[in-house]
Amino acid sequence: MNSTIRISVLVVSVLLSSVVAWITPWNNILWQNSPLGGGHFPLIAFFFLIFFTILWNPLVRHISLRLCLSGSEILLIWIMSGISATLSYTGFARTFIVNMVIPGWMKMTGVEGIQQIMSTVKPYLFPTDSSIIRTTLYGLETGYTSSVFDIIKTIPWDKWIVPLGVWLSLIGFVFLTVLGITGLFSHQWIENERMNFPLLRVPVLFTEHATKGTLWGFLKSPYFIVGFFIPVFLHTLNGLHNFFPGVPQIPTLILAQPFVPKEGLLKGFYKAKIYIYPAFIGFAYLTTRQVSLSLWLFFVLGALMPGFLSIFGLKIPEAALGTTFGPVISKVEEMQAVGAYGVFAIFLIWLAREHLLITFKSFFKKRSYDYEYSGMLHPVTSLRIALVGILGSVTWTVFMGISFHVAAAFLVVCFMIQLVSARLICQGGLPYYTLTAAPSDGFLAFLPTNIFSTSAIYIGAVVQKMAFVDFRESLMPSLFHASALSESAKEKRRFVTGILLALLCTVLISIISMMVLSYKYGIFSLPDTWAVDTVTRVHESAIRLLQHPEEPKKWSMIFTGIGAFVTSLLIFGYYQFVWWPLHPIGYLLAYSSAMRILWFSFFLGWLSNALIVHYGGINAYRTVRWFFIGLIVGDTIMAVAWLIVGFYVPMTYHVFPL
């Protein structure tokens, strides 16, 4: 593969990323169009991949070869635009401004307890000027008729600069830590463990074959054509039905409720849903069979848990869970995820122990780092970056009133969960992922809340929501993907420069974009109730904990212990026995809301993979995989097509889950 990266292409990549960062909040929030990111297989990145491999390069090749993009350049555009789409929505910007203004709004509306809290936290953390808060939440009186440039000039930046600067300093330290951790573990995952990164198979195959000039030969194969036209036909029909109800549709959602009893062993399946997404079937096929089997199998076993408990007469009240900050956790048995994540994080560090030991020895000059590293950054440089980031993050939280040992423990757990989540996404091939329990839920299960200060609970809850909970679009998996893609580039420095510029431009531009949206329309008027509701719930839960302290929760501790024990057994079997059929990450995802959507697609992908390899061998697998790549490409192209339609009509059709 041609692996050069030219300065001119790097500049174009930064410009494209900046445009994506600006337009994403408008597209995703205001216009309610299909998200430009939407997960860890970003829609906008796929658009650029198709544009440059299938349209741009073949056309300009007849004009000048200098205009053609190399494979590494296309992959750089892919990952930079994907990072921009991620951070300018759920990965960062979607709730950033909301988190800062909600405390002031709660104070203005007389929410009980907020006055006392606001008197204890640093005064420059949140805007207190009522006019700023009201304008941000309800918009300017002339906002609808004002241009973007007029609104930018109207925003009182002098009053915003302090809270923005304070919170952005924390975000900067968090991103530095994430970048450093990624560099530390990239060599282990890429070189030592040979992870196949299923979500990268399509862009890598497309750029490789496009560079060789063999891409069209595969795209014209009957396997790809059949796979491609299945989702094209499906979403053309269903999309037209969305606009014209008289057009028939093909159901892609089947409710289990009519077929499952409300009580008994199968009660956990009573509200189960069977989603059929062709692209997700394709990703499951490209994932290793051990992983894809574990993902759907453990979801099914987890759904049996409520029925299993009821058979033994265990009816645990919902109140036993207490106050939690997890995005989806609702039942006490789901606390298994807390123990599972903790044990798996230790397992990841143990797997990388030799590589980490060499890196630490090189850092302290006890030995030289004398072998070629894989990934974007040198491991020793990554360690320095991670240390600066984590020390800066701890210092920031201590300065905001949290004791050192609480801040350090909390942030270490947060970053460990980020590492585990990135592993699940990158190894499991999960285009859609949600965290089950928040980092703080483990502390709240084992410790009485009255031992924590007001700042520890309140500021910790806000920091957690701002940087460590919303994983549907998140930075660390994108950086691990970038590390894997950088292996094909000669100029790794330019590749890294592109990533860093994408990060910097996206953060700054997405904030300005969100501020303009807020002042033009008002946050409360924007059709994004999820952001306001989830942020408000976090602040209210923190206030409730401070007003009504809770004791350690027996059932939460029991199920956390069960989660740790089961994960330990799975890791032992996975590591000790070659024949072991199950992978621990399936258990970690058993209670994720993402698996409620993905489980059936992963079952179909696993079944197809198992049957084809069993009866046809590896050659059949490689040949037939173009059918499943066709499913991915067809599904995603239809998502792009309906996204474009959404720019011109007041309603749209969503191919993927929001």
Q: Which residues pair with 253 in a beta bridge?
A: 275
CA atoms within 13 A on the CB side of 181: 26
Rounded to whole angstroms, the Cα distance separating 625 from 213 reads 19
Asked whether the predicted pLDDT for residue 633 surpasses 90, the reply is yes
Res 330: pLDDT: 82
429 backbone dihedrals φ, ψ, rounded to 5°: 65, 45
Rounded to whole angstroms, the Cα distance separating 602 from 288 reads 11
Asked whether the predicted pLDDT for residue 319 surpasses 90, the reply is no
Rounded to whole angstroms, the Cα distance separating 566 from 153 reads 57
Token reading at 483: 């590390």
Asked whether the predicted pLDDT for residue 371 surpasses 80, the reply is no
Q: Where are the domains of the chain?
A: 7-646
Tell me which of 220-234, 319-333, 429-443, 553-567 is least confident: 319-333
Distances (CA, A) of 618 to 280, 285, 590, 613: 21, 13, 30, 6
Asked whether the predicted pLDDT for residue 320 surpasses 90, the reply is no
Model confidence over 496-532: pLDDT tens digits? 999 999 999 999 999 999 999 999 999 999 999 999 9
Rounded to whole angstroms, the Cα distance separating 166 from 174 reads 13
Asked whether the predicted pLDDT for residue 362 surpasses 60, the reply is yes
Nearest CA among 507, 435, 436, 439 for reference residue 472: 435
Rounded to whole angstroms, the Cα distance separating 516 from 513 reads 5
Model confidence over 180-207: pLDDT tens digits? 999 999 999 999 999 999 999 999 999 9
Region 244-251: mean pLDDT is 92
Token reading at 329: 């956790």
Tell me which of 50-54, 208-212, 613-617 is least confident: 208-212
Res 201: pLDDT: 95
String of DSSP letters for 345-379: HHHHHHHTHHHHHHHHHHHTTSS---S---SSS-H
Contact 656, 39 (CB under 8 A): yes
All residues at 6 or more sequence positions from 615 whose CB lies less than 8 Å from its CB, including other chains: none
Asked whether the predicted pLDDT for residue 305 surpasses 90, the reply is no
Contact 515, 77 (CB under 8 A): no
Nearest CA among 354, 419, 393 for reference residue 181: 419
Confidence of residue 272 (pLDDT cuts 50, 70, 90): confident
The dihedral through the CA atoms of 642, 527, 330, 338 has a sign that is positive
Confidence of residue 112 (pLDDT cuts 50, 70, 90): confident
Neighbours of 168 (CB within 10 A): 14
Q: What percent of the chain has pLDDT over 70?
A: 99
Asked whether the predicted pLDDT for residue 304 surpasses 80, the reply is yes
Q: What percent of the chain has pLDDT over 90?
A: 78
Helix or strand run (H / E) with residue 253 = strand 253-255
Region 430-438: mean pLDDT is 92
Region 460-465: mean pLDDT is 95
Region 305-314: mean pLDDT is 75
Model confidence over 119-164: pLDDT tens digits? 888 888 999 889 999 999 999 999 999 999 999 999 999 999 999 9
Reduced to 3 states (helix: H, G, I; strand: E, B; else coil), residue 254 is strand
Res 238: pLDDT: 95
Token reading at 119: 């008197």
